[in-house]
Amino acid sequence: MTATTDATAVRTASGAPTEAPLEKQPLLGKKEKAAVLDPLWDNNPIAFQVLGICSALAVTIKVEQTLIMCAAVIVVVAMSNTVISLLRNYIPNKIRIIVQLTVISSLVTVVDILLKAYAYDLAKGISVFIGLIVTNCIVMGRAEAFAMSNPPFRSFLDGLGNALGYSWILLAVGVFRELFGSGSILNVGILTPTAGGWYVNNGLMVLAPGAFLLLGIIIWVVRAISGYTER
């Protein structure tokens, strides 16, 4: 069962989400574990839902950038899910999307400011993509589909799981792109580029179409292993 249908199942006839009494639940119950683990493989936001691939193309040229992007997305999705979940009983239905977007964009701005203040060198190359996390479908998707109808801790875990599921795919793409596009991993030279070396950098890998091809291959591999087919 996917996290999305799970979330709707909790809703009662009146539309208000119900919560089981807290004292009866262990910290990490079945639903909590599913919230983290489901999106890693069974319901991966990129491989199965094909969400958030715009940034998978943009920031995966170098592994270093990819790591920063992943960290930023993890913080933003986990925090936005938590905040939206805390506010879920008060957010008026008419303006819920705008409220979600406002929360998400504020968090993204805070992350951008923090990066500029504490990791300036890294933030320099990636600042423009951090801003684009606002438009990442995963963030709003999780807020709308999960956080609006689940308690804060479970929403936090769901955000964490989805962001991690997104991160590992991004990292896989990033490793291949940096290795074949720039001949290095984390800026450490592995394949010696020409001018003394033997490896000619593959220009396709540093451009968006290279990422598209790689992403397609990764999604194919993941789906072939888990036997998933689109209905």
Stretch that binds other proteins, among 30-38, 70-78, 98-106, 130-138 (CB under 8 A): 98-106
Nearest to 139 by CA among 222, 13, 210, 49: 49
* 226 makes contact with other proteins (CB under 8 A): no
Candidate list 171, 175, 201, 228; residue touching other proteins; CB under 8 A: 201
Give the nearer residue to other proteins in terms of CB position, either 36 or 61.
61
Tokens of 191: 């394949």
Burial class (CB in 10 A: 0-12, 13-18, 19+), 200: exposed
CA-derived radius of gyration, the chain? 19
Handedness of CA 12, 16, 21, 22 (dihedral sign): positive
Rounded to whole angstroms, what are the CA distances from 60 to 38, 51, 211, 212?
A: 24, 16, 8, 11
* 97 makes contact with other proteins (CB under 8 A): no
* 24 makes contact with other proteins (CB under 8 A): no
* 33 makes contact with other proteins (CB under 8 A): no
Report the site for other proteins in 137-156 (rule: CB under 8 A): none
Interface contacts to other proteins, rule CB under 8 A: 61-62, 65, 90-95, 98-99, 102-103, 106, 109-110, 113-114, 116-118, 120-121, 124-125, 128, 181-182, 189, 195, 201, 203, 205-207
